[in-house]
Structure 1
Amino acid sequence: MLPAGYDILTPRRLKMNNVDLGNQYKKIIQFFWDPEPKNDDSEQPIWCLGCEYRQAETPCPAQSSGEPADITNRDLASTSTSTTTTSTTTDTTEKRTSTDGPPTPGSAISSFVNLASPISSSMAESSTPAWPPQFLDDFESKLWITYRSQFPPIPKTPKTGSGDSSISLGVRLRSQLIDTQGFTSDTGWGCMIRSGQALLANTLLFIRLGRDWRRGSKLQEESELVSLFADHPRAPFSIHRFVHHGATACGKCPGEWFGPSAASQCIQALVKSNPQVGLRVYITSDGSDIYEKQFKEVACDESGGIQPTLILLGVRLGIDRVTPVYWDSLKALLRFPQSVGIAGGRPSSSHYFIATQGDSFFYLDPHQTRPCLTPRAESTGDEESHPYSPEELSTYHTRRLRRLHIREMDPSMLIGFLVRDEDDWEDLKRQVREGSARGRIIHVFDRDPTIKETEREGAEEEVESFDEI
């Protein structure tokens, strides 16, 4: 704990007080405020969207690094075989005393520098179990979609500037003082949209590039996929398209936070409007119950074969937190080979959860604002010609792990599965059937009992004739 008179130095508070931090100071502040998780449950396997990873054979020295700024300078071609160490932090910090009253921001930062030195030195001499490098490669290869800025304005509605409680005060003030012509950033309100985009983007990535794809290969295909989510009205799955459908069909105005239901409806509608992506979307109207008849009506083509279909299940697994009876079932869902992750799952914000270890979930955090990428012309076929540069593509990836205990998750979430064909569908049903009955989240039934079947023509006459016999 800090002594009386000392305040907690968060990156946001430093920015509010106009304190300019160099890269070294930023890393030191992040070291304390937002430390990277360490592999302190290394006996437990890690499951990342159906793939299992075990503890690395040898420990790696602990070292501190913030959000990896060296990704753009790294040789992308070596990503899949590189062994990367991850930072950790100690469980204790040295106490400080002060008799001079509250410090200025500058002196407080200096104190943090002095404090960090002995801890960093002691950490350099220690070691911690390494994160499996194959898991880090897998994690880094997932598309990470975050807040963006400087994109073409999203028009506001009268509701945006009103006192509607569904729009935060900060968003209303920003719309009145800064984004007067429309929203040019989704910071503060677009996290559920970004999490939904990430779930959809990685679904398409699996279809186009395969589950085993890793960074550094197929840059042209990756660029063209990312371009589908560019922050521009003409991109098929841009935030502009999400907001427009949310306003016209879901009652969500620009600047209003989406929930899992609105996100799933937007995904379904936008995918249906873009059949060229080769995907279908099945969403349930009854929580986590999947009805085979209705699913196949969406998934099957004219010949009766199942085409790649994204199943989206909007669930609520408790009141304020995930009820413990669901813990094991929720963790098991990310072991399914068909899993494409979970969007939502944190109070008043949304993340994209893609892996689990023990009782913790690893996630991609959309709450970082980056300059937008606009759509680019498709490649001409030249190997060196891509819609986006490797540096631009690097903003859609991170090797920086973030972890959350299941007890801290919000119970409202959007769960996704990709079913590619009939074999995938049968395997998904088997996975659900063989799971623990206690706290089971997903159920598969033959048909929706609330939908009345259309009677065959002439059936009523046949019954009357039978009664007369």
Structure 2
Amino acid sequence: MEAVLAKYENQINVFSEFLEDLPDTDEPVWVLGECYNAKTEKTELLSDVHSRLWFTYRKKFSPIGGTGPSSDAGWGCMLRCGQMILAQALVCSQLGRAWRWRAEGGQPEEYHRILHCFLDRKDSCYSIHQMAQMGVGEGKSVGEWYGPNTVAQVLKKLALFDDWNSLAVYVSMDNTVVIEDISKPCGWQEPFTSRETPEQACSHTDGNRATTCPHSHSDWRPLLLVIPLRMGINRINPVYIQALKECFKMPQSCGVLGGKPNLAYYFIGFVGEELIYLDPHTTQSAGEAEAGSGVDDQSYHCLRSPRRMKITNLDPSVALTHVVVLFKEIQMKRNLRMFELVENHPPHWPPFVPPTKPEVQTTGAGMSLPTRQIQ
């Protein structure tokens, strides 16, 4: 089986369209809300890209579910991209967007705790083991290819078991982000509008501003907002291209989950008409994670130049992601023409039920070859 998967991976490396070197251009380069000049700020730009946690195919980890696959090569690329997006949200909430990784070490304790959440071990909160088995509850057999929305649903459920980060995950429906529904998993229960901070909302119910408001910023749980979209039928509609670019300019951006048919990439920015992405289609050994000591964190950072692809080659099925650390950051551009932002839960929708811890599926760990073309 590993020989078959390696064959397909080699085909990907030969035939995939990517551009390795950064262009020599005066056009701004945007990476997750930060703007760079490729000519004068190349070092800073590469440092930013290299600091993103990079999750790829791994092999030789303990079998998923005890009897399942010991490698995700050929089927786990969308799961790995989901890990990268969630890791970026955790980095922003725990370390801040300005944090940079240094190859020589000396990273804060929070960085190491975040990294250990994603190691390929069954006891790591966001490991490939946990994601694959949680996917069984979404109708996916272990070894089956996922789409962006399914990965988002898996992350939403797994986040409920992460007591350290206390990160909430909200997945929008029907291209609509409902502010009222976002507030519930984040700990804010009173009526409000997106133009108010929690403190302002408290002032409506208690005229005494000296009174301590129970819903302060410290009570607002960090939120990963995931917006699955379909931006065309067979290929991306050109009307969405500029709006997609604007999303990468937003300070709260955690990137975009998408790619080409059966090929998942983690898009982190753009330059001109090209998207910048991290590619999970590299198989590395997971042996150092199982050893439990001296994890080689350099293998979790992509130290080469970021890859690029033309925006017009993007598959129209994507998921936009944003991290909301403070309530006031819930403000979003309303003219993106990609999704709708509304204050209240639509009355014709089913009632919104905040997610609760599901029962973890431990069966179905047998290998299921993807029904689509293997990526």
Shorter chain as denominator, the TM-score bin is 0.7 to 0.9
Check conservation: 2:18, 2:307, Cα contact below 8 A. no
Equivalent of residue 396 in structure 1, options 294, 300, 303: 300
1:231 alignment partner AA: D
Please give the secondary structure, in 2, of the residue aligned with 1:152: coil
Residue 262 (1) aligns with residue 150 (2): yes
CA RMSD, Structure 1 to Structure 2 (Å): 2.7
Please give the secondary structure, in 2, of the residue aligned with 1:234: coil
Check conservation: 2:230, 2:316, Cα contact below 8 A. yes
Misfit runs of 4+, over 4 Å: 11-16, 32-35
Question: In structure 1, what is the equivalent of residue 21 of structure 2?
Answer: 37
Check conservation: 1:227, 1:376, Cα contact below 8 A. no
Question: In structure 1, what is the equivalent of residue 117 of structure 2?
Answer: 228
Residue 441 (1) aligns with residue 338 (2): yes
Q: Which structure's residues are more often helix, by fraction?
A: 1
Question: In structure 2, what is the equivalent of residue 359 of structure 1?
Answer: 273
Question: How big is each residue's C-alpha offset from its partner over 1:122-145, in whole Å with a ceiling of 9 and x where there is no partner?
Answer: xxxxxxxxx721111000000000
What is the alpha-carbon distance in structure 2 between the residues aligned to residue 315 and residue 355 of structure 1?
A: 18
Residue 415 (structure 1) shift: 1.2
Residue 345 (structure 1) shift: 2.5
Task: Tell me: CA distance 1:205–1:407, structure 2 relative to 1, closer, same or farther (3 Å).
Answer: same
* Larger RCO (CA within 8 A; separation ≥ 6): 2
Task: Tell me: CA distance 1:394–1:413, structure 2 relative to 1, closer, same or farther (3 Å).
Answer: same
Question: In structure 1, what is the equivalent of residue 36 of structure 2?
Answer: 53
Question: In structure 1, what is the equivalent of residue 178 of structure 2?
Answer: 291
Equivalent of residue 328 in structure 2, options 419, 423, 430: 423
Matches within 5 A, 1:134-149: 134-149=44-59
Q: State the TM-score, normalized to the length of structure 1.
A: 0.62
Residue 225 (structure 1) shift: 1.3
Residue 374 (1) aligns with residue 289 (2): yes
Larger Rg: 1
Residue 448 (structure 1) shift: 2.6
- Identity between Structure 1 and Structure 2 (%): 31
- Which consecutive unaligned segments of at least 5 residues does structure 1 have? 1-10, 17-28, 58-130, 157-180, 378-386, 455-469
- Aligned pairs, number: 312
Residue 278 (structure 1) shift: 2.1
What is the alpha-carbon distance in structure 2 between the residues aligned to residue 342 and residue 424 of structure 1?
A: 18
1:47 alignment partner AA: W
What is the alpha-carbon distance in structure 1 between the residues aligned to residue 271 and residue 325 of structure 2?
A: 26
Q: State the TM-score, normalized to the length of structure 2.
A: 0.77
What is the alpha-carbon distance in structure 2 between the residues aligned to residue 360 and residue 135 of structure 1?
A: 16
Matches within 5 A, 1:301-380: 301=188, 303-305=214-216, 306-372=220-286, 373-374=288-289
Task: Tell me: CA distance 1:448–1:183, structure 2 relative to 1, closer, same or farther (3 Å).
Answer: same
Question: How big is each residue's C-alpha offset from its partner over 1:410-463, in whole Å with a ceiling of 9 and x where there is no partner?
Answer: 1111211001112211xx33xx12x45xxx113210123123789xxxxxxxxx
What is the alpha-carbon distance in structure 2 between the residues aligned to residue 242 and residue 343 of structure 1?
A: 16
